[in-house]
Structure 1
Amino acid sequence: MLIFLYGPPGVGKSTVGRHLAARLEWPLVDVDRAIEARAGMPIPDLFQRQGEKGFRALEAQTLQDLVEAYAGTPGAVLALGGGALLHAPSRRLVEAHGPVVLLQASPETLAQRVKAQRGGRPLLPGEDEGALRRLLAARAAHYASFARRVTVDTLNPAEVAWQAQIQAGIFRQKMREQPSEVLVRVGGLTQVGRELAARFPERPAVALVTDEQVAALYADPVADALRRAGFAVHLLTLPPGESTKSLATLTQVWDFLLERGLDRHSLVVALGGGVVGDLTGFAAATFMRGIPWVNLPTSLLAMVDASVGGKTAIDLPQGKITRANQTAPSTLGG
């Protein structure tokens, strides 16, 4: 998963990117610095020698190479130049690989920041406020076309980073020393193959555990997305309801994993509500001393339940949740 920070000159993409990358424990990639390293010269010199057309061509190629290099990694934050996505193919490329968060500010705020930074912006010679306003007017419709936006005028960089993270819908939580990623997506189930391939590049065998009601809605698209990404998928469909969260069903899940040849290098994916998440997480935590699992909650209640403490459990005849285990999923999708 990649997050792209975009916006006009002086809005603070690189500074905010450092804070956001630190929050997610991801690398920050400053695309302008990568262009300078590739060209062997500062961007103003590159503009002077090759003009804006030559710069934009190098920018587009550098961005494509960086996206391809980081697309197969767990994640990275890319800070883009203020006109990088005016190039339509570049915009299509980045939007296919992650959310674009536009940082925006008033012309007055941007003018103050550009003046304070002094130089390095070939489209704003002499930090001319008039040139800045003309550039903003020319790009107004372009910038307004991005749905995810954060207004930065009254926020410090850490606050902007948090708001950008909310817009991107990507979070990390730790239970003891065990980290989990939380991904919030519209239509996220269809992207699960790509997301898990980036986190499990060896493409382990997957046991997809769900119940009959959820399976009718989502099992096929999720299984198809996983198979397209190169995973071998074994589907286990269980009866719905609290009674499924039992020792007998737990044994059934263990038997299924053994019969399908899954081992400690495999992956278990829970697809459904709280019962499926509780049971599947408990099964994964107790199978062969614990194997990785991913939770894909399909209801709001399950999302809230799954986000608290990494609790998984089964019920015994003496009462509900009388045998519990805390094991955080590798990835939690919503």
Structure 2
Amino acid sequence: MKLIFLYGPPACGKLTVAKALAARTNYPLFHNHLALDAVTAVFPFGSEPAIRLRSLYWLSMFEEAARRDRPLIFTFAPERTVPDSFIAETKAAVEGHGGEVIFVELQVSPEEQMRRVETPDRKASKKIHAREVLQKFIASGGADYPPIPADLIIDTEALAPEAAAQAIVEALALEPLPEPHVMYPDPT
């Protein structure tokens, strides 16, 4: 099982690249906001229950996917509400079942990040979607997180999402699953 762990700052293209990667590999996509949206529907962002439940949700999914030898794509925006132990816990959950975590860092210049942050899809997804909010988030140390060692670095300014996904497939020699992931299988 391979966990393709895409990470980078807000508006670097994580979800867009992840969708293109999922289309090429047929791997399921478990993006950051699935867990975040679930826990913040009940508890405020940054609260103790939200932090604990989000980590539990992420780690439980990783462990079960590894246990079932189910490759997975995950997107992650390093930020200060995530426990420093999260990366080590992720590796333990996956490697404990014979899986491998591959860290792919997506990079973008601050200027391009500011340009991208105001796209309509970010607002629709309830992500940071205003320059002022992103600037405050960065200035307040919101993006502070211990460095994550990258197995691969992709410049999302130099590569369009489709090309970035293809570069990941080639660099990691990813073999596609024979069938795409289906959320609701046909019962017949």
| Common fold: TM-score over 0.5 | yes
The 2-side partners of 1:85 and 1:52 are apart by 6
Q: Secondary structure at the match of 1:102?
A: strand
1:114 aligns with 2:117: yes
Q: Report the Cα offset of residue 143 of structure 1.
A: 4.4
User: Which residue in 2 is equivalent to 1:319?
Assistant: none
CA contact (8 A) 1:5 1:80 kept: yes
Structure showing greater relative contact order (alpha-carbon pairs closer than 8 Å, 6 or more residues apart) = 2
Given the superposition, is the C-alpha separation of residues 138 and 64 from structure 1 closer, same or farther in structure 2, using an over 3 Å criterion? closer
Name the structure 2 match of 1:20: 21
Partner of 1:134: 139
Question: SS at the partner of 2:158?
Answer: coil
**1:70 and 2:65 matched:** yes
What is aligned with 1:39? 39
Deviations 1:167-218 (A, max 9, x none): 5x232279xxxx7xxxxxxxxxxxxxxxxxxxxxxxxxxxxxxxxxxxxxxx
Shift in CA distance, 9/138, structure 1 to aligned 2, threshold 3 Å: closer
Return closer, same or farther for 1:39/1:153 CA change in 2, 3 Å cut-off: same
Which residue of structure 1 lines up, in the alignment, with residue 97 of structure 2? none
2:150 paired residue among 127, 131, 146: 146
Structure holding more strand per residue: 1
Percent identity reads 23
Given candidates 86, 89, 92, the residue that maps to 1:93 is 89
Alpha-carbon shift at residue 80 of structure 1 (Å): 2.2
> By how many angstroms is 1:51 displaced?
4.2
Go from structure 1 to structure 2 and tell me whether the alpha carbon gap of 1:23 and 1:51 turns closer, same or farther (over 3 Å shift). Answer: closer
Which segments of 5 or more consecutive residues in structure 1 lack a partner in the other structure? 180-334
Give structure 2 stretches of 5+ with no counterpart. Answer: 95-100, 179-188
Residues 63 and 90 in structure 1, CA contact (< 8 A), matched pair in contact too? no
CA distance in 2 between partners of 1:134 and 1:166 (Å): 36
Question: Equivalents in 1 of 2:83, 2:161: separation in Å?
Answer: 28
The TM-score normalised by the length of structure 2 is: 0.71
1:29, 1:77 within 8 Å by CA — same for their partners in 2? yes
Q: Is the 8 A contact 1:17 1:77 kept in 2?
A: yes
Equivalent in the alignment of 1:83 = 79
**CA deviation vs aligned residue, 1:26-54 (integer Å, no higher than 9, x gap):** 11112312332x3372xxxx6xx534143
Secondary structure at the counterpart of residue 150 of structure 1: strand
1:58 correspondence with 2:53: yes
Task: Give SS of 1:171's match.
Answer: coil
Which of the two has higher C-alpha Rg?
1
Q: CA RMSD in A?
A: 3.1
Aligned-residue offset at 1:67: 0.5
* AA in 1 matched with 2:164: V
User: Which residue type is aligned with residue 154 of structure 1?
Assistant: A
SS in 2 for 1:52: coil
Alignment of 1:274-313 (within 5 A): none
